[in-house]
Amino acid sequence: MISVEQHLDRILTTVSVIRPFELGVLDAQGCVLAEDVTARGSLPGFTNSAMDGYAVHASDVAGAAPESPVVLPVVGDIAAGNTAALSLVPGQTMRIMTGAPMPRGADAVVPVEATDGGLVRVEVRKASVVGQHVREVGEDVESGAVILRAGTLLGPGQIALLAAAGVARVRVAPRPRVVVLSTGDELVEVGRTPAFGQIVDSNSVMLTAAVTAVGATPYRVGGVRDDARQLRETLEGQLVRADAIITTGGVSMGAFDTVKEVLSRVGTMQFDKVAMRPGMPQGFGTLGEEKVPVFTLPGNPVSALVSFHVFVAPALRAMAGRPEPSFPPGYVPAVAAEPMTSVPGKMEFLRVTLDDDQARLAGGQGSHMLGALAAADALAVIPEDVTQVRPGDPIECLPLLGREGQ
């Protein structure tokens, strides 16, 4: 028996960041930059107005006040998108809109609210100083400056900056492409009515959803029969398009545990008992020339999803250049709202609901119980040496993917 930490450690020291790839900025959402990025142009790219109002020479309106307004002739209108090179001579003004280029010579904008809004001549009722309500060229970003560093995770704000700074494509660690396949003679495809003795292949849809939830790209192969040849051929066929493969089923002590039978002694595959509940039988290793990481998870649905959270998700994040800051990864503190028990010598992952930080068991804890799994928000992680948790005890929880906002 090995510990959860030992198994995760073996996984994380085996996987590596996927070779960088150039993507359009929108496709790169959720990816991590593989190199520093510099701005192709300045932001703003030209000096422009920060307000709807009137472009002026500030010295012309230095004495303006409600009781002593300054009247100026309005000699033009500048809308956002105006590309003409305009000039403003002293003693005159132009109406200008937010984002419109400042005419040469003008050095301030009087907001429309500080005027009578005149179209031919305007009464300015407030003094202005040089630079007021003006956005200077390059004040946000200077052309050629590093705007984002290698290692930055790209979200909407970063994507906007790249686009605005003239960067349409970036080199990133791509999303891992993850093949999901399940094994078992009892499986029928989702949407089919199982005959007596059969069950719907819920694992492959669950893990496909989980792969998407961690920001990787799933390829769902679905159910493969407990047949050594079929499984071997399917795996060989999938290796070419996979950065990682996840299987479920066939790794315990049964008579037809085909995954273990086919993959024992292949590549660097190793099958272990991990001191955890649920999820004890685990297999991991690499297959093929490209050394594709393969996770063989147990078949019970709860075991499979727990294993995904504890082992696969950290590995996929690391492959995408997003290593976890620490072990245990992503734990949040909570408080037990009721008694919980755990077997000695195993790390227990109890399905719990979270109401603020109050954790309660989410129903039956059997590893086949999808009803309780679906009601849960998080996994309460009870260490190996703890057998009893009392109400009020602090506990660590691993939020379930996609339930963070619950």
Query: Residue numbers of the site for ligand AMP (CB under 6 A)?
Result: 182, 184, 186-187, 199, 201-204, 248-252, 254, 298-301, 368
State the burial class of residue 324 (Cβ atoms within 10 Å of its Cβ: 0-12, 13-18, 19+). Answer: middle
Contact 46, 201 (CB under 8 A): no
Shortest reach from residue 165's CB to ligand AMP, in Å: 46
Which of 40, 232 has the CB closer to Mg ion?
232
Q: Of 44 and 285, which CB lies nearer to ligand AMP in the complex structure?
A: 285
182 binds, among ligand AMP, Mg ion, none (CB under 5 to 8 A by kind): ligand AMP
Q: Are 54 and 95 in contact (CB under 8 A)?
A: yes
Total residues interacting with Mg ion, rule: CB under 5 A: 4
**Bridge partners, 70 (sequence order):** 124
CB nearer to ligand AMP: pick between 176 and 249: 249
- For ligand AMP, the closer of residues 302 and 320 by Cβ is 302
The two beta strands, 332-336 and 347-355, are unpaired
Distance in angstroms (rounded) separating the CA atoms of residues 27 and 162: 13
Binding track, positions 213-242, relative to Mg ion; x by CB under 5 A: ------------------------------
53: partner contacted, choices ligand AMP, Mg ion, none (Cβ within 5-8 A by kind): none
For residue 301, the minimal CB distance to ligand AMP (Å) is 5
Partner whose footprint covers residue 234, from Mg ion, ligand AMP, none (CB < 5 to 8 Å by kind): none
Site string for Mg ion, 127-166 (x = CB under 5 A): ----------------------------------------
Amino acid in the structure at residue 246 = I
Q: Residue 23 or residue 205: which is nearer to ligand AMP going by CB?
A: 205
The least CB distance from residue 249 to Mg ion, in Å, is 4
Supply the minimum distance, in Å, between the C-beta of residue 369 and ligand AMP. Answer: 11
Choose which of 69, 101, 103, 184 interacts with Mg ion (CB under 5 A).
Answer: 184
For the bound state, the minimum distance from the C-beta of residue 299 to Mg ion, rounded and expressed in Å, comes to 5
**Given the complex with ligand AMP, which of 3 and 202 has the nearer CB atom?**
202
Please report, as residue ranges, which positions from 276 to 305 form the binding site for Mg ion (by CB under 5 A): 299
Selected binder of Mg ion within 53, 101, 215, 249 (CB under 5 A): 249
Q: Nearer Cβ to ligand AMP, position 254 or 383? A: 254
What pairing do the DSSP bridges indicate for beta strands 347-355 and 276-277?
Answer: parallel
Q: Shortest gap between Cβ of 225 and ligand AMP (angstroms)?
A: 12
CB of 297 to ligand AMP, least distance (A): 9
278 contact, one of Mg ion, ligand AMP, none, CB 5-8 Å limit per kind: none
Q: Which is nearer to Mg ion, 249 or 314 (CB)?
A: 249
Least Cβ distance, residue 142 to ligand AMP (angstroms): 55
The residues of the shown chain that bind Mg ion, judged by CB under 5 A, are 184, 249-250, 299
